[in-house]
Structure 1
Amino acid sequence: MLLVVDVGNTNMVLGLFTDDVLQHSWRIRTDYSRTDDEYAMLINDLMNFSSIQLNNIDAVIISCVVPPVLDALRRMTVKYFATEPYIVSSDMNTGMDVQYDNPAEVGADRIVNAVAAYQRFKCSLLVVDFGTATTFDYINGDGDYCGGAIAPGLGISADALHAQASKLPRVEIIAPPVVVAKNTVNSMQAGLLYGYAGLVDGIVKRMKREVGGNPVVVATGGLAEQIAQASESIDEIDPLLTLKGLLYLYKLNLSN
């Protein structure tokens, strides 16, 4: 079995593939302080709930934007799975030309998403990933990664509103019944959700005008469903895009 691991600043998503089929996936909190042994125990517990043995894993690929966690996961893989993990980086063969001033600056998750989206659609694309930060990435019709934009994530915006305004509570990020709200919680939800949808639509519109054509807009990430319902520009939602991209990159580098 192949274990794919996508480590973001807030959450970590793990998936188990057998013969290109995703068998199980889990989302856990990213903890910068966990050791390699603690990660092994946690993954073992998750797998036990699904009646899977740790020794069924014979390969691991990791996309990580948190260096201390990457170090722990690398040690865990060697120690408990007796194999070196595949690490997504600018040095990995992705089959994609990264047209960035410094390709090493591009987050591993952005490259994985770009590869996965292009392999699925085979056309020009804008990939929007709603994570701790919200990233917008453009892939041209030839499958080249051409750059993008980074904005604060919706969760960060909600946390900042609560932290910096003493009378504003922490709110669940869901669609309120109306935009012209009658209470503080709904007012915050309206501002966050619809304001953010406006941000997405505005950046997508500007990107489309800049690159020309009509690229397909694909959304992924934990809040993709909520934002897509309020957005006028998202064409497709794929919550498993990053895991699929990791599978593709594993197979690509295995053959090489």
Structure 2
Amino acid sequence: MILLFDIGNTNTHVGLANARRIVRHTDIPTNGWRHGAARHALTRFVGSTRVEGAVICSVVPHVTPLVKKATRSLWKLTALELTPKTLRGVGIDYPRPQTIGPDRLANAVAARARFGAPVVVVDFGTAVTFDVVNARGDYVGGVIAPGLAAMTDYLHEKTALLPRIRIREVKSAIGKSTEHAMLVGAVTGYRGLVRELIGELRRELKARRLPVVATGGYAKLIAANLPEIEAVEPLLTLEGLRLTWLAQV
């Protein structure tokens, strides 16, 4: 089995995979790597499974060496880190490749493998990111916008009367309470943002067909009434890591 680590700001998404698929996965709080909690959770997750390799993508640089240290001490493995230099499966046509988030590269690898090129990935995380692979199969850039929860939390934190809300679907576009009005702006308005950006990307790429795949925490909610999104793939980043490992061996 191969260990997959997608190290994010809030959680580290960990998977176990074989040559065909991701077998199981879990989330471990990223701040737990600073003490023993994350390592303990990792050993419980892996159990007695034989681990033969590990691959990492990380947007939290100070945590990366802690995860590498754990794989060395627990399984005597040197983890492969996904970077522009270790990337396989897509090319890069971007001015400063080292500034691309490794999770975005993993998403691009998995999306191209499944949907071909061109393709767009929309990742609904702390920020929402759009990542574009052109018809030649090159990662060419994308878009970054505030995440859904970040926007609503900001409204709560910067105003006296707006509450913190639980993001969910709304049926009416006319808010009948403060919370309802905020949900309309968040969910329905967010779909408008995503739809418009997809349209702009399609026009710029001059693509007659442009598959769009969504991943991340709010992907299922936003994609539910957004026909521009062709598929929702919750494990897209881990799948990109799995494919990256297979391309190296």
| TM-score normalised by the chain length of structure 1 | 0.92
**Alpha-carbon offset, residue 36 of structure 1:** 6.5
Structure 1 partner of 2:149: 155
What does residue range 34-183 of structure 1 map to in structure 2 within 5 Å? 34-35=33-34, 37-47=36-46, 52-53=47-48, 56-183=50-177
In structure 2, distance between residues paired with 1:121 and 1:204: 16
Listed as ranges, the gaps of 5+ residues in structure 1 are none
Contact 2:87 2:105 in 1 (8 A): no
Question: Are residues 1:230 and 2:229 paired?
Answer: no
In structure 2, distance between residues paired with 1:87 and 1:36: 22
Contact 1:8 1:66 in 2 (8 A): yes
Listed as ranges, the gaps of 5+ residues in structure 2 are none
Contact 2:30 2:38 in 1 (8 A): no
**Alpha-carbon offset, residue 21 of structure 1:** 2.7
Q: Deviation per CA, 1:205-245, whole angstroms, max 9, x where unpaired?
A: 11111111121111111110001023242111111111111
Q: Deviation per CA, 1:41-93, whole angstroms, max 9, x where unpaired?
A: 1212334xxxx32x622211111100111121011111111111010112214
In structure 1, distance between residues paired with 2:42 and 2:234: 21
SS for the counterpart of 1:42 is helix
Structure 2 partner of 1:20: 20
Structure 2 partner of 1:8: 8
Structure 2 partner of 1:246: 241
In structure 2, distance between residues paired with 1:200 and 1:10: 23
Q: Deviation per CA, 1:169-193, whole angstroms, max 9, x where unpaired?
A: 1111101231212112111111111
Once the two structures are overlaid, the 10-residue window that deviates more, 59-68 or 22-31, is: 22-31
Q: Which amino acid aligns with 2:122?
A: V
Provide the identity percentage.
35
In structure 1, distance between residues paired with 2:189 and 2:155: 13
Q: Which amino acid aligns with 1:192?
A: A
Contact 2:33 2:67 in 1 (8 A): no
Q: Deviation per CA, 1:10-46, whole angstroms, max 9, x where unpaired?
A: 2221111134232211123321x63374322121233
After superposition, the Cα gap between the structure-2 partners of 1:219 and 1:194, relative to the gap in structure 1 and judged at 3 Å, is same
Could you list the structure 1 runs, at least 4 aligned residues long, displaced by more than 3 angstroms after superposition.
none
Question: Are residues 1:219 and 2:214 paired?
Answer: yes
| TM-score normalised by the chain length of structure 2 | 0.94
